[in-house]
Amino acid sequence: MPAILLSTLNARYIHASLGLRYLLANMDELRERTALREFTINQRTDVIAEAILADAPEVLGLGVYIWNVRETASLVATLKTLRPQMQIVLGGPEVSFETEQQQLTALADYVITGQADLAFARLCRELLAGRRPAQKIIPAHPEPLPFLKLPYHEYSDEDLRQRVIYVEASRGCPFKCEFCLSALDKTATPFDQSAFLAAMQSLYERGARHFKFVDRTFNLKIQNSLQILNFFLEKLAETPLFLHFELIPDRLPEALRETLKRFPPGSLQFEIGVQSFTPEVQALISRKQDNDKTCENLCWLREHTHAHIHADLIFGLPGETLQSFADSFDKLYALRPHEIQLGILKRLRGTPIDRHTGPFGMRYHPEPPYPILMNDRISFPLLQRVSRLARYWDMIGNSGRFERATALIAGDRPFARFLTLSDFIYETSGQTHKISLRNLFALVWQGLTGPLQVAPDVATAALAADFADAGQKGVFTPPQTQTDSRSPAALDAAGRQRRHRS
């Protein structure tokens, strides 16, 4: 039975907590008395509690994030009811700010705010020795990176086979974008490059083939970036790999370009945060971005590399209007990234975006993940429309299943036309989730030939080709040629009933 148990509730099983593994790697003499057990937010609280109590730890450390705070509060309340003597210690970004105001803080015994890599082990030594600190909220200041033991040996063989392996070559961010917790950092600091690459070599030898870098600014220090990329290029000569990096959009010097061109198809994915092309909005949120250079770099990546490009926009930023956001979307769409992530602004605890709440009438949902509900430029009904658009865009534009149809939808005004289609799909189906792919094809055809005024034969040809490429059985049949007069939603429900009966 471990004296100390580290745990968290991940969004999905495939995610493996890098933060917990840092804590585990830095337990020193307590390492042998510490175990790690991860769960997901989809598991029942009583099932999770039973598993934790079966381990009978004296100290339980829980990582709390925006995606699991509700479920964690329920779990802590259950555990404290069943075994009140167990010491529960919380950490993570969700409890590191506005800490005293949270119900979760009242439920737990201790909360470590900030980077707890070494602070958690120090607290555990006190608790296991019978010395209970009087201070419930314990601030942890960032430790110099050379003091930390790297956590990568704490990934199990099962992790390497079945889960995403998160790694970081640096910590921090020099930029001050106010919607992001990294705005509180002073700079980005790299880990010792030799030690980091030795750890990557060990992971590779153990079978890791998928590496997701969590660095906020992978291409900040180009020489470090090049060394890491060349390391993986050598491995790619032996076996396929998949690498994910987050890039600064306006920084792509020639040396980096030449190296990126050497990566084969399917090996690179870039997450590129554009967020907004509106200069006034960028200034309000302290975001420094050369828009012309960003466009040039995105075009170059699309035309000269095999990288999969995932670009982000945020709706609801202070000062942004529907029209200015539409302009940003249209500009980004023209640059042809493989995916455009339409995010809704969230008020992360501790972020400087809060300073705009009064001046711009920013109103956020009081429950996690704290999305914006309205501001002085965006009404609640409009926010709802764009939220639905983001959902349908994922299903249609980002899915890769509607390549030809997406071009027809976009026309010469992509955002406006996609918003029109989104309104039509919602009015017709009343759903944003649980829409079958076959039904979605029918709804897109109806939207194209109805409010978007695309010729029926053109829409049919595009969707028939997309339907075949999506691997669907049979041939796409436009709804108007069906003998049944029911709506696509009714037809889809009837089809499910027939399949169930058979």
3-state secondary structure 42-54: CCCHHHHHHHHHH
Sorted by sequence, the CB contacts under 8 Å of residue 101 that are 6+ apart come out as: none
CB-CB contact of 164 with 212 (8 Å): yes
Identify the pLDDT of residue 51.
Answer: 98
Please give the span between the terminal C-alpha atoms of the chain, in angstroms, as a whole number. Answer: 50
**Strand pairing category for 242-247 and 268-275:** parallel
The whole-number pLDDT of residue 481 equals 53
Domain boundaries, the chain: 4-145, 164-378, 379-502
Query: Quick one: DSSP state of residue 452?
Result: T
**Distance from the Cα of residue 113 to its chain's centroid:** 22
In this prediction, residue 492 carries a pLDDT of 52
Give me the phi and psi of 374, to 5 degrees please: -170, 165
Q: Tell me, which fold does domain 4-145 have in CATH?
A: Rossmann fold (3.40.50)
CA distance 374 to 388: 15
Q: pLDDT value at position 486?
A: 44
Report CA torsion sign: 54, 55, 61, 67. Answer: negative
DSSP 8-state code for residue 32: G
Closest by CA to 137, choosing from 94, 84, 93, 91, is 91
Instruction: Give the whole-angstrom CA distance, residue 59 versus residue 204.
Output: 34
Q: Beta strand 137-140 with 339-344: parallel, antiparallel or unpaired?
A: unpaired
pLDDT score for 347: 97
User: Which CATH number is 164-378 given?
Assistant: 3.80.30.20
The strand ranges marked E within 458-500 are none
Distance of CA 364 to the CA centre of its chain: 20
Structure tokens that stand for 11 in this block: 């969004």
Instruction: Record the tokens describing residue 187, joined without a space.
Output: 């700079």
Please say whether the beta carbons of 351 and 364 come within 8 A.
Answer: no
Tokens of 206: 């153990």
pLDDT at residue number 186: 84
Residue ranges for the chain with pLDDT beneath 50:
482-486, 491, 494-495, 497-502
pLDDT at 134: 94
Q: Is the dihedral of CA 347, 351, 352, 355 positive or negative?
A: positive
Q: How far apart are CA 120 and CA 104, in angstroms?
A: 18
Residue 304 neighbours by CB under 8 Å, 6+ apart = 257, 260, 261
Alpha-carbon span 62 to 39, nearest angstrom? 11
Determine the distance from the C-alpha atom of residue 33 to the mean position of all C-alpha atoms in its chain, rounded to a whole number: 33
Instruction: Report how far residue 359's alpha carbon sits from residue 376's, in angstroms, rounded to the nearest whole number.
Output: 9
pTM: 0.92
Q: How high is the pLDDT of residue 349?
A: 95
Retrieve residue 495's tokens.
């089809």
The reported pLDDT for the residue numbered 501 is 43
d(CA 35, CA 24): 8
Q: How far apart are CA 171 and CA 169, in angstroms?
A: 7
